[in-house]
Structure 1
Amino acid sequence: MSYFTEDYTAFFKELAGNNHKDWFHQHKKRYEASVKNPFQAFVGRLIEEIARYDKALHIEAKDCILRINRDIRFSKDKSPYNLHCTAFVSYGGRKDKSIPGIFLRFSPEMVGIMGGCFAPSKEQLHKIRTAIGSDVKGFRALIENKDFVKDFGEIRGEKIKRIPKEFQAAFEKEPLIANKQFYFMSEREPELITREDLLEEMMGYWQKMRPLNNFLINAIQS
């Protein structure tokens, strides 16, 4: 089934040229009908489908979806609204992006699909590096899996310049030990948003990222 109409992307295209509170409030009912409610329904359905495979996932759509309002406190751009919808479906939802899950961004330009560990704490990062160092071969098998590489390419993240002594030997075998984040992403055409197989497509990405996400979850929860 289709969760979205063409007005989903049309709304954001118009908002881009009218990004102020007066216009938004004049079109609030349209926003709710074409954007907010369909996106919440889709995320809720995605959660239900993931929970068929992951019984530990107990979260609601409202706990995963980020607000359309931008945080403009420290930004030069004072536009009040984002031009996309985003959701972080994981055990921690939008409040804890350190827990791997599937992160979605639906915009008029693209469908963004991301996974991995975006913002690990110092303790979690130490645990991830320890897990990688303890099983470099297993970690390599996950990130070099042909389906993973086809859809996500490579692991991304900022890198530290000085490797702690305890990880220097592991770093020689696995350079990703230097990463401060461990995330990956894919982009699809925006036309996917209105397609009837949207849910199936997103579940396909979730299945392909699941082994690496589980490796990272097991590491940070050890």
Structure 2
Amino acid sequence: MTYFTEDFSQFFKDLAGNNNTEWFHANKERYEKSVKEPFIVFIGKVIEEISKLDSEYQITPKECIFRLHRDVRFSKDKSSYKLFSSAVISPKGRKDKSIPGLYIRLSPEDVTIMGGCYNPSTLQLQQIRTAISEDPKAFRALIEQDDFKDQFGEIKGEKNKRIPKEFQELFKIEPIIANKQFYYGATLSPETITYKNLDTLVMNYWKTMQPINKFLTEAIDSNGI
């Protein structure tokens, strides 16, 4: 199944030069047909496929898809709308973005597929580091898997300059313990948007990231978080 037409990307290209409510309202029917409705169907299908493999994913597209409107209250950029469609598919969707899941963004520039833990709390970060310290070889084996390295490369994230005392020895053999974030991603060409069976492609990435997502999830769930 092909979810999107060429007008998905063209709509955002046109919006980029007319990023205001007047233009958007004049083109709302086009937005609904070319962007919003097919994106809902697409995210719904990905959720359906994931839920077949993980029963924790009992969530709706509405709970996963981010608003197109921008929050401009504290931004110098006062343009009204984002120039992409995005969603985070996890057991709690966008309600709790610290939970490892699948982030998808479709834009005229690229397709982004990401996983991991982007914004863990202080406690969650401590729990992830503790889980890694308990079996660093097992964690390293996960991120050295060929499929993971081929599709995502490596785990990324900001790092602490100062390492907590309890992890300083581990840092010598596993530098990733210094990370404050644990995320990974792939960037695909914008032509990917109109691929037939785009959901199948996304699921291949989800299956590759799932072992690490599971490790991170179990770490932050260790104290009932």
TM-score range, shorter chain: over 0.9
Query: For each residue in 1:46-82, what CA deviation from the matched residue of structure 2 results, as whole angstroms up to 9, or x when unmatched?
Result: 0000001001111100000000011111111110100
Amino acid corresponding to residue 144 of structure 2 in structure 1: E
Q: Which residue of 1 aligns with 2:190?
A: 190
> How far apart are the structure 1 equivalents of 2:207 and 2:139?
17
Q: Pairwise mapping of residues 40-55 of structure 1 onto structure 2 (< 5 A)? A: 40-55=40-55
Q: Which residue of 2 aligns with 1:13?
A: 13
- Does the residue aligned with 2:115 lie in a helix, a strand or coil? strand
**How much does 1:188 deviate?**
0.5
Amino acid corresponding to residue 116 of structure 2 in structure 1: G
> How far apart are the structure 1 equivalents of 2:74 and 2:30?
30
> How far apart are the structure 1 equivalents of 2:73 and 2:125?
29
The answer to whether structure 1 residue 28 and structure 2 residue 28 are counterparts is yes
Q: Which residue of 2 aligns with 1:202?
A: 202
Unmatched 5+ stretches in structure 1? none
**How much does 1:197 deviate?**
2.1
Query: For each residue in 1:133-157, what CA deviation from the matched residue of structure 2 results, as whole angstroms up to 9, or x when unmatched?
Result: 1111011011111110011011111
Q: Pairwise mapping of residues 4-153 of structure 1 onto structure 2 (< 5 A)? A: 4-153=4-153
- Does the residue aligned with 1:86 lie in a helix, a strand or coil? strand
Alignment length (residue pairs): 222
The answer to whether structure 1 residue 177 and structure 2 residue 182 are counterparts is no
Q: Which residue of 2 aligns with 1:168?
A: 168
TM-score of the superposition, structure 1-length normalised? Answer: 0.99
> How far apart are the structure 2 equivalents of 1:171 and 1:92?
32
> How far apart are the structure 2 equivalents of 1:162 and 1:7?
49
> How far apart are the structure 1 equivalents of 2:48 and 2:197?
16
> How far apart are the structure 1 equivalents of 2:169 and 2:95?
35
- Does the residue aligned with 1:36 lie in a helix, a strand or coil? helix
**How much does 1:187 deviate?**
0.5
> How far apart are the structure 2 equivalents of 1:140 and 1:169?
16
**How much does 1:95 deviate?**
1.8
Amino acid corresponding to residue 6 of structure 2 in structure 1: E
**How much does 1:6 deviate?**
0.9
Residue identity over aligned pairs, in percent, reads 59
Query: For each residue in 1:157-187, what CA deviation from the matched residue of structure 2 results, as whole angstroms up to 9, or x when unmatched?
Result: 1111111111112211211111100000100
Runs of 4+ with >4 A deviation: none
- Does the residue aligned with 1:24 lie in a helix, a strand or coil? helix
- Does the residue aligned with 2:162 lie in a helix, a strand or coil? coil
> How far apart are the structure 1 equivalents of 2:74 and 2:56?
37
> How far apart are the structure 1 equivalents of 2:57 and 2:64?
12
Q: Which residue of 2 aligns with 1:159?
A: 159
Query: For each residue in 1:81-104, what CA deviation from the matched residue of structure 2 results, as whole angstroms up to 9, or x when unmatched?
Result: 000000000012112111001100
Question: Over aligned residue pairs, what C-alpha RMSD do you find?
Answer: 0.7
